[in-house]
Amino acid sequence: MSVTGYDVRLRPAQPATPAADAFTIHRSDIGNGLELAYVREGVGGYPLLLIHGYPETKRIWWRNIEPLVAAGFEVIVPDLRGHGDSDLSESDTYDLVTYSRDLYALVHDVLGHEHVGVIGGDVGGVVAVDMVHRFEGFVDALCFFDTVPPMVIDAYVAAGIDIGSIKAIADGPTGDYRRRQGGEPDVLAAELNSPALRRAWVAAMYGPRLWASPGTFSDADIDFMTEPWADEARLRAGWAVYQLGYGRTAEEFPILDRTVDAPTLLFYGADDQVVGPDFLHCCEVAFTNRVGPLVLAGAGHFLQWERADVFNPTVSMFFHSIASKV
């Protein structure tokens, strides 16, 4: 049984997972000597940019690419810098605005799209919100789920939301990983001193730490998701955004201090043990033109994978309505 009482044993079968090499991996210099790796399928359809978070790479979207292409979309699925198959930053520059600028350079400057729909959860969701505000007119609409909502504190207070609960969203019952990755990365890296140990650290987030709803990742799935994290430099790159709360500096702050007026489809995984349920109340205030939040039973933090059977057709319907108006 899941946290919500939903019997995960009765969860419908999910779409088959494509093989690891099912999609061509492209690489492009985004104008600063750094190359991003990405999947690009369905060229010619309305463009959708899918942004992963942590501990994810573009592989977390493997169950979504083909259905969205079949629905008529051009699907662009990058690895953030330092993640997966993308280049590491020679200057050790990893922060939310840098990710935002990288993805704009890829989709707008390299691939030539004047506007796009954006889908993101976890770190990818925060990057998506920054892109909405930073690049006016570029993001037509977004799908946002299981992450930190915009920091419109005054609006939350006015709505009667307990600000202390927002901190609980960040801490949560599994929040110790933030402290370790953010506050003591050298100590943690010394403990994870082999590829197997590094992969095991990430594997726990798909398994016993209960970020995911029980049983939604098989051993083979976890092996697929953790393989890119065997390398210490890439694992450390994934930790960098958590270090921003522990003294790591960024040249720019993400634009998160205002409501989002772009059309937004909101999801929440009912079994998410990383992002608390007050995410729902915050999103109802922060997104002024929203569909949802839609709560997905039998899904946790990785809901695009865990309930792809619901996610894919709902996203398709939402973005078809957007594409018909632009």
Please choose, from the candidates 12, 300, 321, the residue with its C-alpha nearest in 3D space to the C-alpha of residue 146.
300
The pTM (predicted TM-score) of the whole model is 0.95
Identify whether the C-beta of residue 130 lies closer than 8 Å to the C-beta of residue 255.
yes
| Overall size of the chain counted in residues | 326
Supply the pLDDT for residue 258: 96
Residue 91 lies in a domain: yes
Residue-wise pLDDT for 141-169, tens only, equals 999 999 999 999 999 999 999 877 555 55
pLDDT > 60? residue 237: yes
Residue 207 lies in a domain: no
Residue 209 lies in a domain: no
Which token pair is 295?
């709560």
Residue 287 lies in a domain: yes
124/298 Cα distance (integer angstroms): 22
Residue 200 lies in a domain: no
| Average pLDDT, integer, range 49-61 | 98
Residue 241 lies in a domain: no
pLDDT > 90? residue 210: no
| Average pLDDT, integer, range 104-113 | 98
Range of the domain at 102: 8-174+251-323
Domain of residue 126, CATH code:
3.40.50.1820
Total domains, the chain: 1
pLDDT > 50? residue 1: no
Residue for token digits 């969860």? 11
Residue 308 lies in a domain: yes
Residue type, 321: S
Residue 232 lies in a domain: no
